[in-house]
Amino acid sequence: MKAQLILEDGTVFIGDGFGSHVDTIGEVVFNTGMTGYQEILSDPSYCGQIVMLTYPLIGNYGINRDDFESITPAVKGFIVKEVSDFPSNWRSEFTVDEYFKMKKIPGIAGIDTRKLARIIRQHGTLKGAICSIENDAAEVLRNLRQTRLPIDQVRRVSTRNPYPSPGRGKRIVLVDFGMKHGILRELNERGCDVVVVPYHTTADEILKLRPDGVMLSNGPGDPKDVPEGIQMIKDILGKVPLFGICLGHQLFALACGADTIKMKFGHRGANHPVKDLATGKVSITSQNHGYTVDEKSVKNTRLEVTHIALNDGTVEGLKHLDFPAFTVQYHPEASPGPEDANGLFEQFLAMIEAEKQEVAANA
Ligand SMILES: NC(=O)CC[C@H](N)C(=O)O
């Protein structure tokens, strides 16, 4: 069945619909990863967004049981050059088409994704609609231009209730702003005794759980739309070691008095080089963000920029100068992408241990 992709600038692409044949509206973004579409479609940070994959063949190794980053995908749709009908992989259980039908997500294939990537790079991210060819394009465009995209994505994807993921190691409270399961997996693999809590949990409620450390997860949308998270970080800073990833990094920056800004088209892919300014070491990182910490705003805070993106010089890591707290804009849990930055989880646990020693020494 023919479908159309309509952008708010009036561009119309005609392609073949796959997955569910429902109409959708979202912010159109592109991801340059060559693999990892299953992790991308299930990453809650894409809530409210339609993702275009620049790699030309998607679905060739199917959808499997293991690689989900959340149980319910929050992505609004997929735009691809070609979607594979015949996946070949021993783990494959569904095609992308079958999975999207099950989850009621629309997709459109047969699009010139290079052209679309150039439009987005030139104009910045745009609103877009995927709909049936039968819809009147002018009317869809009018509606699209009037539509205001939701700003409550974190509320939509965060857990409703706290839940434990027990271990015998350090007690970590993981604040779920739209958490990728990869973060929880990394903590569990290191034996951590994790409690996942909703995005609106207060500092007092977290401290009652007697955490050794607090982890701030990734998540969708504009960090300024999550005042509960910013307030919690302000209240808890200095009381317990903190580690933040992506949205968690941005919320931490805002809580410490820095500012965040929207990027033109963001960083989404699996090969973004990031430099650690202390060691000079470059890591190839997995990324998915449309906002960034404004470097100029860091100067008037007690934060220090620890990492920068080599492609455009933007802030990729921060640490607090007075308290045990550090954050990164990229994804040390990978899922998908390279695992160069995986050692940051050890760094977090070492920071917690050092803090415990210091408290014991001063007692
Ligand atoms: N992956 C994330 O946590 C993304 C953070 C934020 N939603 C952004 O787009 O910048």
Ligand 1 atom with minimal separation from the 245 CA? 3
User: Which residues form the pocket of ligand 1, taking CB atoms under 6 Å from any ligand atom?
Assistant: 45, 218-221, 246-247, 288-291
Task: Based on the fold, state whether residues 241 and 336 are members of the same structural domain.
Answer: yes
125: CATH: 3.50.30.20
Two structure tokens written together for 179: 């958490």
Can you give the pLDDT at residue 225?
98
Residue 351 maps to which CATH number? 3.40.50.880
Q: Is residue 290 part of an annotated ligand binding site? A: yes
Which atom of ligand 1 is nearest the CA belonging to 219? 3
pLDDT of residue 169: 97
Pocket test for ligand 1, best of 46, 157, 222, 250 (most atoms within 8 A of CB): 250
- Of 85, 118, 149, the one marking the end of a domain is 149
Owning domain of residue 195: 154-362
Atom 3, ligand 1: which residue's CA is nearest? Answer: 218
If asked whether residues 134 and 168 sit together in one domain, one would say no
Average the pLDDT over 187-207 and give the result: 98
Residue 246 annotated in active site: yes
- Is residue 283 part of an annotated ligand binding site? no
pLDDT tens digits for 234-262? Answer: 999 999 999 999 999 999 999 999 999 99
CB atoms within 10 A of CB 277: 13
> Does the annotation flag 15 for ligand binding?
no
Verify that 103 and 208 share a domain, yes or no: no
Secondary structure E strands in the chain = 2-7, 12-19, 24-31, 49-53, 57-58, 77-79, 82-83, 106-109, 126-132, 163-165, 171-176, 193-198, 213-216, 242-245, 260-276, 282-293, 303-309, 315-320, 325-328
pLDDT at residue 363, as a whole number? 84
Number of domains in the chain: 2
Distance 46 CA to ligand 1 centre (A): 8
- From the list 246, 249, 289, 307, the catalytic residue is 246
User: Global pTM?
Assistant: 0.98
The stretch 221-237 carries a mean pLDDT of 98
- The answer to whether 302 touches 320, Cβ cutoff 8 Å, is yes
Quote the pLDDT of residue 55.
98
Q: Is there a single domain that holds both residue 226 and residue 314?
A: yes
Q: Is 200 a catalytic residue?
A: no
Q: Is 238 annotated as a binding residue?
A: no
b/e string for 322-358 if b means 16 or more Cβ within 10 A?
ebbbbbbbbbbbbbbbebbbeebbeebbebbeebeee
Contact yes or no for 175/215 (Cβ under 8 A): yes
Using the 3D structure, point to which of 125, 149, 173 is the last residue of a domain: 149
Per-residue confidence (pLDDT) for residue 159, from 0 to 100: 98
Task: Compute the distance from residue 363 Cα to the ligand 1 centre, in Å.
Answer: 40
User: Is the peptide bond between 220 and the residue preceding it cis, with omega within 30 degrees of 0?
Assistant: no
Q: How far is the CA of 246 from the centre of ligand 1 (A)?
A: 6
pLDDT per position as a tens digit, 3-40: 999 999 999 999 999 999 999 999 999 999 999 999 99
Check if 333 is active-site.
yes
Residue type, 250: Q
Mean pLDDT computed over every residue of the chain: 97
**Residue 118: Cβ within 10 Å count:** 11
Q: Hey, what are 251's tokens?
A: 């919320």
pLDDT in tens, 301-356: 999 999 999 999 999 999 999 999 999 999 999 999 999 999 999 999 999 999 99
Question: Are 238 and 215 contained in the same domain?
Answer: yes
- Between the CA of 90 and the centroid of ligand 1 the distance, in Å, is 32
What distance in angstroms lies between residue 152's CA and the mean position of ligand 1's atoms?
13
Q: What is the pLDDT of residue 41?
A: 98
- The confidence score (pLDDT) of residue 233 equals 98
Domain C-terminal end among 149, 165, 185: 149
pLDDT in tens, 256-315: 999 999 999 999 999 999 999 999 999 999 999 999 999 999 999 999 999 999 999 999
